[in-house]
Amino acid sequence: MSSPSTPGAGTSRAGPAADVGRWFSTAAPRPAGASAPTSARGPRLPAWGPMVGAEYGRRSPASEVTAALELLRDRPVAVLTGAGMSTGSGLPDYRGRDAVPRSPMTYQEFMGHDLARRRYWARSTVGWEQFGRARPGRAHRLLAALDPAAFPVTAVITQNVDALHAAAGSDPVIDLHGRLDRVRCQQCDALSSRAALHARLLMMNPELAARLPQLAADAAQAPDGDAEVDRTSSFRYPPCALCGGILKPDVVFFGESARRETVSAAFAALAAAEALLVLGSSLTVQSGLRFVRAAGRAGQDVVILNDGPTRADPAATLRLHGRLEDVLASWADATGAVAAR
């Protein structure tokens, strides 16, 4: 792919998409037995990886799947999605059965350490063209088709940063944690294209550019922290062209808050709904969990569908287990929704 652009553009996909979680791993391997990092706000950050003792692979009976559809049918619904939504597109999740354990990079680490920024931009430069091959999966397409055949969707509030909901046709989409196809200056707040930055990074790092396929293969196969690209401490990255500030992907890092206007839009979409449907999220972090709690306070029904436990299971009106594609397909069949399969 010679000119990566907004993820989801195009019609074909070659090979697995990049493991975006690697880009956000902590800048230096942590010694054995060392504690997890803390953000400036205090709480200890959870490591990514499968949840200990969790039951994966469970499937809800057809009667429960049908009951959930009847609960939501013909009512305005806000939809909250997580990483499990995009596994069918080749993007790995962070706490599912097959998640790779690693410790997340914090906003404070990225902003405070040049080495962390070098490591991030080196990793993402190697993986970006792969990431650009990701296409909406069946779950994305089915969800878009269910609105309004099964229920009108006030908004898809997604914790993902891949822009695949919009590419599948969902509208409106609220990117709670931002989008990887954009870059934001941390000083003047200017937005720019990640694709344009990618071209510039390759020009600034010709040795890496010449070895891009080899490094991409190495990064895909090596254990976390062992890929050769992780040792590229000489990697160069540019400042903001307008003010000289630090450029950062327009996504929310651990220890950083989502943009206020984005959160307000998400809560407005929830307020306009009668129910909340959660798809593919463990709700481990407060960023997503707060919407379930807000729905509960408002007396709204909450339906959660996820493979593996979620932090909000006790708060669910109905809790479904299974593959997103299977449940959404059964709802599409029951309501006559049509989606490209």
CATH code for position 141: 3.40.50.1220
CA dist 108 and 177 (Å) reads 17
Average pLDDT over residues 311-338: 96
From residue 137, how far is each of 68, 262, 318 by CA, in Å? 22, 25, 25
287 is a domain residue:
yes
Residue 330 pLDDT exceeds 50: yes
Which of 216, 236, 251 is the last residue in one of the domains?
251
Residue 269 pLDDT exceeds 70: yes
* Whether residue 291 sits in one domain with residue 224: no
CA dist 151 and 27 (Å) reads 44
168 is a domain residue:
yes
Name which of 340, 318, 341, 291 is nearest 155 in CA terms: 291
Question: How big is the CA angle at 341 (ends 332 and 336), to the nearest 5 degrees?
Answer: 25
The pLDDT tens digits of the residues spanning 125-148 come to 988 887 888 899 999 999 999 999
211 is a domain residue:
yes
3-state secondary structure of 90: coil
Count of structural domains, the chain: 2
Which of 226, 251, 276 is the last residue in one of the domains?
251
Would you place residue 154 in the very low, low, confident or very high pLDDT band (cuts 50, 70, 90)? very high
CA dist 303 and 291 (Å) reads 12
193 is a domain residue:
yes
Active-site option among 113, 140, 165, 177: 177
Determine the pLDDT at residue 142: 98
CA dist 150 and 337 (Å) reads 7
Domain with 153, as residue range(s), is 56-91+136-177+258-341
* Whether residue 293 sits in one domain with residue 146: yes
- Kindly report the number of other CB atoms within 10 A of residue 56's CB atom: 13
From residue 207, how far is each of 2, 48, 147, 201, 237 by CA, in Å? 18, 32, 48, 11, 14
Could you confirm whether 321 is annotated as catalytic? no
* Whether residue 300 sits in one domain with residue 162: yes
* Whether residue 213 sits in one domain with residue 312: no
3-state helix, strand, coil in the chain (%, to 5): 40, 15, 45
Mean pLDDT is lowest, of 98-112, 179-193, 220-234, for 220-234
Would you place residue 36 in the very low, low, confident or very high pLDDT band (cuts 50, 70, 90)? very low
The mean pLDDT value of the chain amounts to 84
Task: Select the more confidently predicted residue: 11 or 314.
Answer: 314
Residue 202 pLDDT exceeds 90: yes
Would you place residue 11 in the very low, low, confident or very high pLDDT band (cuts 50, 70, 90)? very low
Would you place residue 6 in the very low, low, confident or very high pLDDT band (cuts 50, 70, 90)? very low
Residue 33 pLDDT exceeds 70: no
42 is a domain residue:
no
26 is a domain residue:
no
Name which of 110, 108, 91 is nearest 100 in CA terms: 91
Determine the pLDDT at residue 54: 59
Which of 251, 268, 290 is the last residue in one of the domains?
251
The pLDDT tens digits of the residues spanning 313-325 come to 999 999 999 999 9
